[in-house]
Amino acid sequence: MTSSPRSTFLFLLRYYRPYAGRMIIALLFMIPGSGISLAFPALTGTIIDRIITSDAPSELMQTGLLFLGLLVIQAVVGYFVSVTMARTTEKVIASLRGELFHHIVKLPLSLLTTRRVGELSSRLSSDLTQIQETFSFSILQLLRQAIFLIGSIALIVTTSIQLTIPILVGTPIIVGAAVIIGRRIRKLSTRTQDALARTSTIVDETLQSIHAVKSFVQERYEVGRYDEALAENVALAISGARLRAIFVTFIIFTIFGGIAAVILYGANLVAAKEVTMGQLLSFLMYAMFVGGALGSFAELFGQIQKSLGASVRIQEIFDEKLENVGEDAPSIRLSSIELRDVHFSYPERSEISVVNGISLRIRNGERVAFVGESGAGKSSTAALLQRLYEPTQGQIFYDDQLSSTFTLAQVRRNIGVVPQDIVLFGGTIEDNIRYGRPGATHEEVREAARGANALDFINRFPDGFQTTVGERGIKLSGGQRQRVAIARALIKNPPILILDEATSSLDAESEHLIQQALEHLMLKRTTIIIAHRLSTVRTCNQIFVFADGTINESGTHEELLAHGGQYRRWCDLQFLR
């Protein structure tokens, strides 16, 4: 995606619109506040001339008091403007950060799986921090320096046209160079932010998988991967710094060379008594204002370009289409599911079909099983049932009504899931169980934990339900995490259950108790069991045997054994028949 600097800047300014009133007031104060600074060279020149001409001390004192008064006014105004801008920018960035996070979590899973977690985290942290620094400082300084530049040029023109010519000639050259170099800085800044996002991604992946890193002794590999990404980021940052350094050096040479020429020329004018010493000093100070303004433009312009580069990536995320979940739709109760000739490919691997023409029907209260080898399409089909993805071809029905009849929220609220790979949030055990139904009472949380055979181990912790589970539940064992996840599904109390190897991480005794709880739970619910261990599916009403994204066999346990197909061979292997 390409975005012009103007459209990107307007995108950022949109977030300042609610604070337009206070921004306008701050800017109205900033203009006279900055304008006061333009009076200092003239007052300095007046003081020098009065000292040289031995004017009355009283007049000299009045000029000095005026000078001091203006300094106080400028300080007060400057403080007000800076605090107002900083406060406004903090609120704007907080609003932008909140809106970006809201947007990210509402993106379809098909889009989120194509982006790495570290990249998205970098957009929320480093990219927005870059924008924050620019709008709280750089923009304000740029406006101040612009006032200094315009005001100083206007005043030196009225002082001496002859002395102004070198400055007026150099200014368009510098502005033109700023535009050309600024474009390159913006492109480099975008690439630098991308490289920084890659380093964040590596950090997130490494720390989230630190057990695997330690187990495989891959510390050196991860360090090398990070160093390589960091080196790329540093190289791009240095290239940007080199461009800015070239620009600053060019400005210093041009401006101060011009000032040196003005000093020599001005000295001749003073000797010829065409200007006074005070006028020359005032002119030189104004010329230095011009030089300082143009000199600061290089760094400020570069900083703004970096922020625009960061904003481009944020805009790209905002341009992604949101998933219409329909959270406010009225609650309903679904109990049966049907798939008709469903095909599906993951967006990032569209050339590979993982579900190929599956048709099946799961009736109200039935218990069915999806069995098959890894990669056969069982979990992908379960994801389609939850409408985490939409089929590329075919239709899904709930209670004999087309899936599009219901919102995503209505469908997902009716389905409880206990996944094989348990992911817990970093809060307490109670928080994680209550995530299934945020309004649940503590007693309901306890009952869900009891039903999942989790109450005993929870009570053994000193903090009980307030025990912190750590990031991704790292402080709990695999079996404990599994039981917390089961309790979370129990408290949701959905009419449809998806159990993805729900007892795979439990010891024999816990598995027996959990299986009893699940048996009782499944009596009044439609249940889909995804299993590799066939001992857990023998009592199912229907068993669907998956292979290469299709259903090769279906029937009860006894029917499939009698059929003598793949299911029978797996049973022979597992049960040693």
Q: Which token pair is 392?
A: 């590329």
CB 177, CB 255: distance < 8 Å: no
Domain boundary residue, one of 277, 293, 319: 319
Tell me how far apart the alpha carbons of residues 170 and 252 are, in angstroms, rounded to a whole number: 11
Whether 138 and 281 share a structural domain: yes
Whether 162 and 267 share a structural domain: yes
CB 362, CB 528: distance < 8 Å: yes
Mean pLDDT, range 115-123, rounded to an integer: 71
| pLDDT value of residue 174 | 66
Distances in whole angstroms, Cα of residue 375 to Cα of each of 324, 344, 378, 497: 29, 13, 7, 21
Give residue 363's domain range. Answer: 327-414+494-577
Tell me how far apart the alpha carbons of residues 448 and 149 are, in angstroms, rounded to a whole number: 70
Q: Which token pair is 482?
A: 């599994």
Where does residue 548 fall: left (phi above 0), alpha (psi -120 to 50 degrees), or beta otherwise?
left
Whether 544 and 575 share a structural domain: yes
Distances in whole angstroms, Cα of residue 248 to Cα of each of 106, 181, 285, 521, 565: 44, 11, 20, 72, 77
CB 413, CB 454: distance < 8 Å: no
Query: pLDDT tens, 62-101?
Result: 766 776 777 788 778 777 877 887 788 888 888 888 888 8
Query: pLDDT tens, 303-332?
Result: 777 777 777 778 888 888 888 888 888 888
Residue 429 in this model has a pLDDT that exceeds 60:
yes
Backbone angles phi, psi at 358, to 5 degrees: -80, 135
Higher pLDDT, residue 576 or 411? 411
CB 193, CB 313: distance < 8 Å: yes
| pLDDT value of residue 344 | 92
Whether 148 and 177 share a structural domain: yes
Read off the DSSP letter of residue 331.
Answer: P
As a whole number of angstroms, the longest Cα–Cα distance in the chain is 121
Domain boundary residue, one of 456, 478, 493: 493
Query: pLDDT tens, 188-197?
Result: 776 776 777 7
| pLDDT value of residue 121 | 75
3-state secondary structure of 458: helix
Tell me how far apart the alpha carbons of residues 289 and 145 are, in angstroms, rounded to a whole number: 8
Query: pLDDT tens, 268-288?
Result: 777 777 767 777 777 777 777
Amino acid at 552: N
Higher pLDDT, residue 198 or 521? 198
Query: pLDDT tens, 134-193?
Result: 776 677 777 777 777 777 777 777 766 666 666 666 667 666 666 677 667 767 776 776
Q: What is the CATH number of the domain that holds 211?
A: 1.20.1560.10
Whether 182 and 230 share a structural domain: yes
Of 421, 431, 344, 432, the residue nearest 389 (C-alpha): 344
Whether 180 and 204 share a structural domain: yes
Q: Residue written as tokens 């939409």?
A: 390
Share of the chain above pLDDT 90, in %: 9
Residue 250 in this model has a pLDDT that exceeds 80:
no
Higher pLDDT, residue 480 or 205? 480
Whether 62 and 188 share a structural domain: yes
Domain boundary residue, one of 319, 342, 372: 319
DSSP 186-211: HHHHHHHHHHHHHHHHHHHHHHHTHH
Count of Cβ atoms closer than 10 Å to residue 128 Cβ: 20
Helix (H) or strand (E) holding 517: helix 508-522
Helix (H) or strand (E) holding 117: helix 117-122
Mean pLDDT, range 478-503, rounded to an integer: 83
pTM: 0.69
| Four-CA torsion 445, 451, 453, 457, nearest 10 degrees | 20
Whether 532 and 441 share a structural domain: no
Of 59, 33, 32, the residue nearest 46 (C-alpha): 59
| Helices first, then strands: H and E counts in the chain | 20, 10
Distances in whole angstroms, Cα of residue 115 to Cα of each of 105, 188, 197: 12, 22, 11
Of 302, 393, 320, 305, the residue nearest 353 (C-alpha): 393
| pLDDT value of residue 577 | 46
Whether 427 and 308 share a structural domain: no
The most confident of 219-223, 495-499, 568-572, by mean pLDDT: 495-499
Mean pLDDT, range 49-70, rounded to an integer: 67
Of 66, 29, 73, 41, the residue nearest 291 (C-alpha): 41
Whether 488 and 518 share a structural domain: no
Q: Which token pair is 195?
A: 């490289």
| pLDDT value of residue 337 | 93
Whether 532 and 551 share a structural domain: yes
The number of domains in the chain is 3
Helices (H), 417-506: 429-434, 442-451, 455-460, 478-492
| pLDDT value of residue 16 | 77
| pLDDT value of residue 106 | 84
3-state secondary structure of 391: coil
Q: What is the CATH number of the domain that holds 459?
A: 3.40.50.300
CB 480, CB 510: distance < 8 Å: no
Whether 439 and 345 share a structural domain: no
CB 399, CB 349: distance < 8 Å: no
Of 473, 477, 437, 443, the residue nearest 460 (C-alpha): 477
| Residue 527 buriedness (CB in 10 A; 0-12 / 13-18 / 19+) | buried
Tell me how far apart the alpha carbons of residues 128 and 328 are, in angstroms, rounded to a whole number: 31
Distances in whole angstroms, Cα of residue 413 to Cα of each of 253, 364, 416, 479: 68, 16, 8, 26
Query: pLDDT tens, 390-400?
Result: 999 999 999 99
Read off the DSSP letter of residue 373.
Answer: S
